A and B are shown apart, each in its own frame.
Chain A
Amino acid sequence: MFEGIVVSILLWFGMYLLVTLSLNIEYGYGGIPNFGLALAVLMGAITVGGIVNRVIISIFSVNAITFTAASGFAKSAMDELISSNPMYGIALLILILVISALIGGTVGAVFILPSAKLRSDYLAITLLAISEVMFMIVYYNTDIVGGYYGAPTPNILAFIPGEDRDVVFTILILLIAFIIFIFVERLINSPYGRLLRAMREDEDVMRSFGKDIMKIRIKTMAIGSAIASIGGALYSLYAGNVIGIINLSARINWTFFPFLMVLLGGMGNNKGVTLGTLTFVTIWRLIDIYKHEIAKTFNLPFDVNWLQYIIFGVLMIIILYYRPEGILKEKPIKTEPIKEFENKVKSSKPA
């Protein structure tokens, strides 16, 4: 039981870390209020459920009445192939990661174009509206990725016995999250990262230095959305179905919760965001795992999920009011010249 809880927390931590790191690049460092974050995650689900599934369906020339059924047959054929040779599974995973990053990046870059003419509040409304409408379309139209019927996704770890799957998947996701974390850290500590922070602080100054704000924004959203899309793809693969992303509470799970984690941990600070993600996921998983016990103990006549929404909504408002900088504050970037300067100051001080 205990081991199961730890695995569940770590698994979600890795998955959400991808999404929160992506939001941190966009909002934490770049100041872009991406209220349509869920759309990037959706792109990952579409890559797996809508594109890769279609390829597999056509390779095995599956015939079925609905897309959901066809995906199911394709999944079992693919799983058989993967269990015969693990290389197929690994190749499929890499293929999916690459395609989802490309699609996510492209959609992110296009998605931000209206911002050329919009102030931050209008931009946030527009991004949220686009993402909401896209979700409604893919949810109600069952021909795109199965909609409310869902679409089964291939099990890339079909060669591993079922009882070990969660543990191996967790290790895999943590590994990918770790690689992305290192990548984001290096990215943020590059000249581009400092440019990003400067853009957040004052766009006019940036313009007067001859920087093209739009170019930086497009680049930022492309990188951010690519990472979030990888997160969405991994979750669709883990859950074995895209329905975990394509549902009507997507705005809560894939936009609001990531915002909460980023603000909880500390905007513009990857270590803080990692801590925030771990804290949130731990609370959230524990509530979810013990929800029947909680309902029984307090004799609640309703689903604990509702209570969870209230708790996290209140938590968000408390953070915004009492600690908007999060658990770990953003620190200035220490570039080589600054380090040198600090050393000089230290050594010149009389002992």
Chain B
Amino acid sequence: MGVFDGAIIYANLLVLLSIGLTMTYITTSVPNFAQGSFAVFGSYISFTLFKLLKIHPYFSLPISFILGGLLGILTYLTVLRPLINKGASVVILMIATLAWDLILFGFIGIFSEYIGKITKSYATKFIFTPFDFKLFGLNGIFFVSMAVIILLLLFLFILLYKTKFGIALRASMENPNLAEVMGINVEYTRVFSWFLSGALAGIAGSLLPFKQEIVQSTGAMIIVSIFAASIVGGLGSIYGALLGGYLIGLSESLITFYLSKLFGTGVLVYSKVIPLIFLIITLLFIPQGLSSIKWERWRKLICLRA
């Protein structure tokens, strides 16, 4: 895998995760610390289907989509909604998602040991790269992740902008009270956003083993990047998540790579410092994220200067 295609693949998957995180933040105002574990859940679904039923991970994507979505709904209905209805503060809700993350981590651990015993293989660490195809000298995951992200974005766009449901969804994201007055069931859109968040994370999780090795704690390791991507984009906008996902995904891989060329491979340890720096700079200087910048104004300024 080359450096550039590797960076693009990683960024594609990060975009899926950060869009999910942003969607649930918009509808329920909960930063979900379990997003990383949602992805690992997807990875294990594909791994299990591959080991038990010999379904190639690429073909198990629809199943990860649906099961991931159900996990998202489960998270919302069993953990968050009861607390929200009791008027819990945002910090309490965040602690609840941390607890949920720990529960998922426990289940992932149990499942990985269990499935390892059933299939008599090593399931606490796995990678799909050997099962990938090659095309034009590139790994198949490059094309698959590209296709998946284009299709999903198209699907999201049509859903949000071309259907009545999408209009209702956007209305309840913008102003839930007003939407409710207009007869929109806001609760429904919340459940749907959690479904979509889990489903996108499931897909990202199924594809991630083609890029890097999955271990039980992978979720905890990628969570910083996911949050950085969403916050750099501005947590309040799906476009922002898209922008932030690519910015963080590409810079995390590429900057680390160039620095390692300059200073040696010891730098690789510090790869997660890059999303952290982006996150802190964004919060200090543009707390509403990239999507809040009025690009028009800058363009006008530049035009005036010229």
Tell me the A residues contacting B by CB distance below 8 Å. 33, 35, 114, 117-118, 120-122, 124-126, 128-130, 132-133, 136-137, 140-141, 248-249, 251-252, 256, 259-260, 263, 301-303, 305-310, 312-314, 316-317, 320-321, 324
Contacts and interface: CB of A to CB of B under 8 A. Distances in A.
A293 B126 CA distance: 30
B271 to A, nearest CB: 9
A125 B242 CA distance: 20
A128 to B, nearest CB: 8
Contact of A306 (B88, B95, B109, B273): B109
Contacts of B284: 114, 117
Nearest to A324: B92
Given A129-B224, A320-B95, A303 B113 contact: yes
A249 B217 contact: yes
A252 B102 contact: yes
B188 interface: no
A125 to B, nearest CB: 5
B272 A310 contact: no
Contact of B276 (A130, A316, A317, A321): A130
B109 A302 contact: yes
A130 B114 CA distance: 34
Q: Which are the 9 A-B pairs with shortest beta-carbon distances? A: A309-B106, A313-B103, A306-B109, A310-B106, A316-B99, A313-B102, A302-B113, A140-B269, A313-B99
A259 B95 CA distance: 8
Nearest to B109: A306
Interface of A is mostly: helix
6 contacts: A120-B91, A122-B287, A130-B280, A140-B269, A256-B102, A310-B107
Contact of A137 (B33, B107, B223, B273): B273
A248 B217 contact: yes
A249 B215 CA distance: 13
Interface of B: 29, 31, 33, 79, 82-83, 86, 88-92, 94-96, 98-103, 105-107, 109-110, 113-114, 117, 217, 220-221, 223-224, 227-228, 231, 266, 269-270, 272-273, 275-276, 279-280, 283-284, 287
Contact of B283 (A117, A252, A305): A117
Contacts of A320: 83, 88, 92, 95-96, 99
Given A126-B283, A141-B269, A121 B90 contact: yes
Nearest to B276: A133
A125 B270 contact: no
Given A310-B103, A313-B100, A314-B103, A121 B94 contact: yes
A181 B273 CA distance: 36
A256 B105 CA distance: 13
A312 B117 CA distance: 26
A327 B110 CA distance: 31
A304 B210 CA distance: 30
Contacts of A33: 91, 94
Contacts of A120: 89-91
A328 B89 CA distance: 20
Given A140-B269, A306-B109, A126 B280 contact: yes
A126 B100 CA distance: 20
Contacts of B220: 132, 248, 251
Contacts of A133: 224, 272-273, 276
A136 B221 CA distance: 8
A306 B106 contact: yes
Nearest to A308: B106
Contacts of A248: 217, 220-221
